Structure 1
Amino acid sequence: MEYFIILNKCAGGNKARLLWPKVEARLKQLNISYRTFVTQYDGHAVELANQILSQITHAHHSDAVVMAAGGDGTLHETLLGCIGYYATYPSESKIPIAFLPIGSGNDFARALKIPLHWDKALEQILHCSKAASLTVGQYTNLDTHDEGYFTNNFGIGFDATVVHDANRSSLKNSRYFGKFSYWISVINALRTFQGFNTHVKIPGKPEDVYQNAFLVTTTNLPYFGGGIKIAPDASAYKNQLDLIIVEKPNPIQLLLFVSMIFLKRHLSLRFIHHYVQKELLISTKDSRYGQIDGEELGERTYNLKFETASYPFWIR
């Protein structure tokens, strides 16, 4: 087995840069065959994944794995590159993706029971013997007809606003204080965030309208936001997506929401709405920030179709 590693040294507030020498030393100690490709800018992992798969195909290399080493954003870009390649060459057998979680959020790792410590995660990868087909989210912008995919979630509203603010915090790239940028952004967003108009359409059913949406997240995993279990029963092994809509809570409802989420009973609250579908449509009338797997989309309105897709992952 040969591992083609896409490494984001900036992941986790540069934590990955410090950990990588230890990872590499372990690979050499175990005489593992690998090649490393280091990302240089946002979106570079997409290009690298495409280049790697082209090399593997031309070399007729059937015993290969593409490993994303970084955070959820690195995994997201790696998936996009791989799916993009096979969209061009649909007859080729798909090379699986492994994930070495050395970033900050690592919600994908939590959901798939990948150890969060690099040495145990690497050991699990190296002892894997076959790929597992996992569900990933697919979305289509119905205005532009652009398509995209996500391994974790597509969020509109509160969570995306937090991502936007945290990415602009002076603490963001600090190894020790980076996580505080997220929680400071949470507090600021709670103070200032305004609800927005959201429409949900399930094929064959009447449209649901929420005039004061606070958080709209479509996910195939239980976790978001670095370990918050927003959709407790969601699973990448199920061919479905979970949509969670939280209407803007008042202070008492907010405290209730926070309390209940730790008990995994928040979905019973009357201002929280839960859908489980293979296909659904979401549109917003007001501009709000959006995010995919923690990567910013900017502030805009949305007119989206969500569906399930699948890809092989190197997960034991």
Structure 2
Amino acid sequence: MQARYLIIINPNANNGKCKDTWQLIKNQLDAGKVVYQFRLTEYHNHARLIAEQYIKKYHQDTSFQNILLVIGGDGTLNQVITGAKNIVKQDQRLHEFPIALIPAGRNNNFALEMGISLNWSQALNAALSHTNPHDINIGYYYNNFNRRYHYFLNNMGIGFESNLLNSRQKSHWKWFTNRFHRICRFWDILVNLYEIKEFPLSLVSGVNREQFSKVVWVGIYNTPYFDNNKRFMPNASIKKPSLDIMVMENKNILFVTWAIFLMFMGKRTKLKSVHYYESKSFKINIPSIEYANIDNEELGGHFYNAEFGITTFQFIY
């Protein structure tokens, strides 16, 4: 059966460079007479809506093998997967389309984990030549407070990391930040360390329950990568049907500062105030409003009565 590619492009990915990459890809698709349609995202979470619309429109069309081809980074791919999964949950008559990726974002951690080339031409050739999907493990998060499912390819963070991301998103110095991002990153870390907030946390995995009173950061990992391609959790892997968890306590602000700087350098700390777990499914309860992010995309502030686990999606690579 001939494949039809329903292409979703984030033109703003990688500081707008993805728009130029798309023109090169489009020329190659046209030259090869590939059957495709495309949409450019125009606002945050637009990719999620486009994926939902495509599945609604084409789920009964069996004249082609419909494939969602994402051109962008981890955030765009996350939105497409989330849209596909949520629309199928809402309407059982629908089914998920397999998804392929041409990595073109600033963060391409998922592509690194899957061994997908960061060269757009090689990634495109692989996506066009392979049409048999594989089930790939990803994490899910369900919050009983707002009754919403979220999915993460790489990781989810609550606390310090998300406060840091939130402060970056609100920065009015985008030009300076884009050109001197390393200086700005360490400045943001210092500011957020000065304003660090602690919160209570309950972690339940099976019959085991852990209680913490002064947590500053929780990270849940499906891949080893953290913060722009840094390999931090070496045991985390898409190939495992489990998630890796990191809980950081504030028992000493100097130790916390040291641990966080090590993490942003891509190194794992062995301090006693940093705890590591692995589980197929677990629950987290946080009775205070804390910021969270998924795959480096801001989620905003929430209470957490949350369930975590592993699910799959069909991926072509």
TM-score (norm 2): 0.88
Q: Secondary structure at the match of 1:58?
A: coil
Aligned length: 313
Asked if 1:187 corresponds to 2:190, the answer is: yes
2:223 corresponds to which letter in structure 1? L
In the TM superposition, what whole-angstrom CA distance separates every residue of 1:10-29 from its partner, at most 9, and x where no partner exists?
A: 12222212322122222223
- Identity across matched positions, percent: 26
Residue 289 to residue 257, structure 1, CA distance change in 2 (3 Å): closer
1:191 corresponds to which letter in structure 2? Y
Q: What is the CA-CA distance between 1:302 and the residue it aligns to?
A: 1.6
The aligned counterpart of 2:107 is 105
In the TM superposition, what whole-angstrom CA distance separates every residue of 1:25-57 from its partner, at most 9, and x where no partner exists?
A: 222233322211111222211111011122322
The aligned counterpart of 1:251 is 254
Residue 173 to residue 99, structure 1, CA distance change in 2 (3 Å): farther
The aligned counterpart of 2:206 is 203
Residue 39 to residue 26, structure 1, CA distance change in 2 (3 Å): same
1:247 corresponds to which letter in structure 2? E
In the TM superposition, what whole-angstrom CA distance separates every residue of 1:103-125 from its partner, at most 9, and x where no partner exists?
A: 11222222222222322322332
Q: What is the CA-CA distance between 1:187 and the residue it aligns to?
A: 3.3
1:198 corresponds to which letter in structure 2? L
The aligned counterpart of 1:235 is 237
Quick one: distance in 2 between partners of 1:313 and 1:251? 43
The aligned counterpart of 1:32 is 34
Contact 1:16 1:103 in 2 (8 A): yes
In the TM superposition, what whole-angstrom CA distance separates every residue of 1:187-244 from its partner, at most 9, and x where no partner exists?
A: 3223322222211111212x21222212201121111211222321111222111111
The aligned counterpart of 2:303 is 301
Q: What is the CA-CA distance between 1:7 and the residue it aligns to?
A: 0.9
Q: Secondary structure at the match of 2:14?
A: helix
Choose the corresponding residue for 2:161, options 159, 176, 184: 159
Contact 2:70 2:100 in 1 (8 A): yes
Structure 2 counterparts to residues 71-150 of structure 1, below 5 A:
71-90=73-92, 93-150=95-152
Q: Secondary structure at the match of 2:293?
A: strand
Q: Secondary structure at the match of 2:8?
A: strand
Q: What is the CA-CA distance between 1:141 and the residue it aligns to?
A: 1.3
Q: Secondary structure at the match of 1:12?
A: coil
The aligned counterpart of 2:221 is 219
Residue 256 to residue 76, structure 1, CA distance change in 2 (3 Å): closer
Q: What is the CA-CA distance between 1:87 and the residue it aligns to?
A: 1.9
Residue 46 to residue 61, structure 1, CA distance change in 2 (3 Å): farther
Residue 120 to residue 247, structure 1, CA distance change in 2 (3 Å): farther
Q: Please report the RMSD computed on the Cα atoms of aligned residues, expressed in angstroms.
A: 2.5
Gaps of at least 5 residues in structure 2 are: none
Quick one: distance in 2 between partners of 1:173 and 1:70? 21
Residue 13 to residue 231, structure 1, CA distance change in 2 (3 Å): same
Q: Secondary structure at the match of 1:37?
A: strand
